[in-house]
Structure 1
Amino acid sequence: MQNLRAPGISHRACTLLAVRWMVMVASVMLSAMALAELPDEDAEGWSLRKETDNIQVFTIDQPDSSFQAFKAEAVLDVPIENVMAVMVNPQSCVEWVHNCSESYAFGDGDFHDRYAYSVNNMPWPVTDRDYVIRIRTRGNPHDGEVVMELNAIPDERNKESDYIRVDKSDTLYRFIPEGDQTRMIWVQHTDPNGSIPGWLVNTLLVDIPVRSMKQLERVAGWERYQNHELVYDQEGRLKDVVPKTQTGDD
């Protein structure tokens, strides 16, 4: 067999390179598998469970899980810049997500790929759950759409004794500008871990996005989230959400 090793590179070096390549490929495959957990927005089987004001909530069974996924869609009466100013704040979970009691960023990360820790209050006597989440954000300057993918990575931080760590949770947010309003599509599937009956979670499932989306609309109208803009780099990638530059009168 022909030796494909380049001149001057030892067998050990080649082995290390091969191992690194396999690790990289495995990482990409695992990432794709994590995202594949969510059902497609247009998949057959979605069932309309609730429609109130401008919010629709659908659910669908998930294979190998007793917990359903949900899809919620609403038109928020606030511009996308306001909404994204909320979403990039690592502590905003407590402001708008129903039952979120603690949230903050941790570790090394940037706008496109970062990490957050949060705690979700559960009704007594159920133990509260905590989440370790990887958040990836991308935007399209042509149509203004912003997509956020949130995936549980439970082993990224040590477990807390007071909580049960959620080890499987996948979320997709899509924000689409419609003039001074924002269409939000939220798809999520979470296995809360521990001894919670699936039928109980599925019964309460629709209330989470309804309450949260209504609150997000309110929060995005707060003063501190006004007058922001989406910033793109030269390649057209969304790179930040920042306050608009304050300029004086001419």
Structure 2
Amino acid sequence: METCIKIAEDRDFEILKELIDFHEGWSLDYNKENIKVWSKSDDESKSSCKMLKMHTVFPDVTAAILFDVLHDPEYRKVWDTHMQESFDIGYLNPNNDIGYYSIKCPPPLKNRDFILQRSWLDIGTEMLILNHSVEHKDFPPKKGFVRATSLLTGFVIRPEGSGCFFGYISQTDPHGKIPLWVVNKCTQIFGPKLVKTIHTAAQGYVQWKEKQVNPCYKPWIYPEQMTAPRISISDCVPDKSVDKTKGSPRHK
């Protein structure tokens, strides 16, 4: 995948909302316990991996808390049991950053990792988060991992009563030797489990945050708190010393 660094604009967030809110062409695959899951083939991306979309309402979690949970890197280490490693690489501007994320996969599958650009917007009536895979010259594919690709991942959060609406969409290509039918089927199982995990995490976030050394540390809201380095778009290119045709983990 070639780098696709792009500072998110208003239209990018509008497209995210359209994908979340309109269901024409989508197949409703799951509708239980206040969770709906849709899937859809995406001809535009030319990927065989389906798009996955979920809707739910958390009646006891505010939009602001959920927004924090999805951002807070330290808390993610608490609730994300699939995560192996995650860290900030740097930021492009106060609402766009780039980070590394790796996940543990069950044997005999190799673990997957990503380099992700994340963009976010809080307009009060709704909070929006986007991410997709990019490349960075200092973080090429590494031994023991398959470099996966997030074509699109997005979250839409809206206040609803004393709780919030939570919309999620994802299209991810894990690469490697995983049959696509397995990938597409697993998303229908993984999706509802993810929603329940995030809900439980959000319920415990305030209590956890209050116990931290700096409970007011929220650089996704207060950009003056950012400690990651400022990075240049020119750094977001592949490492030319890596020959991807000769044993790169991405092709094993």
TM-score with structure 2 setting the length: 0.70
Q: State the partner residue of 2:69.
A: 86
Residue 244 of structure 1 corresponds to none
Residue-pair matches, total: 207
Matched residue, 2:130: 149
Structure 1 CA distance for aligned equivalents of residues 39 and 76 of structure 2: 23
Against the structure 1 CA distance between its residues 29 and 94, is the aligned structure 2 distance closer, same or farther, given a 3 Å change threshold? closer
CA distance in 1: counterparts of 2:77 and 2:191, whole angstroms: 14
CA distance in 2, matches of 1:29, 1:82: 25
Matches within 5 A, 1:226-237: none
Supply the distance in 2 between the matched residues of 1:219 and 1:171 (Cα, whole angstroms).
19
Pairing partner for 1:131 from 114, 120, 137:
114
Could you list the per-position Cα deviations for residues 150-177 of structure 1 after superposition, in whole angstroms to 9, with x for gaps in the alignment?
Answer: 1111335222212111134311100001
CA drift of 1:102 comes to: 2.4
Matched, 1:40 2:40: no
Aligned partners of 1:133 and 1:89: how far apart in 2? 15
Change (3 A) 1:116 1:38: farther
Tell me which of 147, 154, 167 is aligned to 1:185.
Answer: 167
Which residue number in structure 2 is paired with residue 176 of structure 1? 158
Q: Structure 2: any 5+ residue segments left out of the alignment?
A: 224-252
Q: Which SS does the other structure have where 2:200 is aligned?
A: helix
Deviations 1:177-203 (A, max 9, x none): 112211110011011111211101111
Match of 2:35 in 1: 55
Alignment match, 1:167 = 149
2:88 to 82, 90, 105: 105
Matching residue of 2:105: 122
Q: In the TM superposition, what is the alpha-carbon distance from 1:127 to its structure 2 partner?
A: 0.8
Residue in structure 1 matched with residue 193 of structure 2 by the alignment: 211
* Paired AA for residue 19 in structure 2: D
Q: Shift in Å at residue 95 of structure 1?
A: 3.9
Stretch moving more, 43-52 or 67-76: 43-52
SS of the residue corresponding to residue 106 of structure 1 reads: strand
Report what 2:140 is aligned to: 158
TM-score (norm 1): 0.71
| Structure 1 residues 118-176: Cα deviation after superposition (integer angstroms, max 9, x where no partner) | 112222111110011111110113x2x10000111133522221211113431110000
d(CA) in 2 for partners of 1:49 and 1:28? 32
Task: Call closer, same or farther: CA 1:114–1:180 in 2, change over 3 Å.
Answer: same
CA distance 1:189–1:219, shift in 2 (3 Å): same
Query: Which residue type is aligned with residue 182 of structure 2?
Result: L
d(CA) in 2 for partners of 1:38 and 1:122? 31
Match of residue 235 from structure 2: none
How far apart, in 1, do the equivalents of 2:118 and 2:8 lie?
15
The answer to whether the 8 Å contact 1:91/1:102 transfers is no
Gaps of 5+ in 1: 1-25, 232-237, 242-250
- State which structure, 1 or 2, has the greater radius of gyration over its C-alpha atoms: 1
- Native 8 Å contact 1:98 1:208 kept in 2: no
Percent identical residues: 20
CA offsets, 1:88-115, max 9 Å, x none?
Answer: 2124444445623322222235541112
The secondary structure found in structure 1 opposite 2:203 is: coil
The higher-RCO structure (CA 8 Å, 6+ apart) is 2
Question: Once the two structures are superposed, what CA deviation does each residue of 1:27-83 show, in whole Å capped at 9, x if it has no partner?
Answer: 6599989x9799823152211111221111111112222211100011113111221
- 1:11 is matched with none
Task: Give the direction of change, closer, same or farther, for the CA distance of 1:151–1:38 in structure 2 (3 Å limit).
Answer: farther
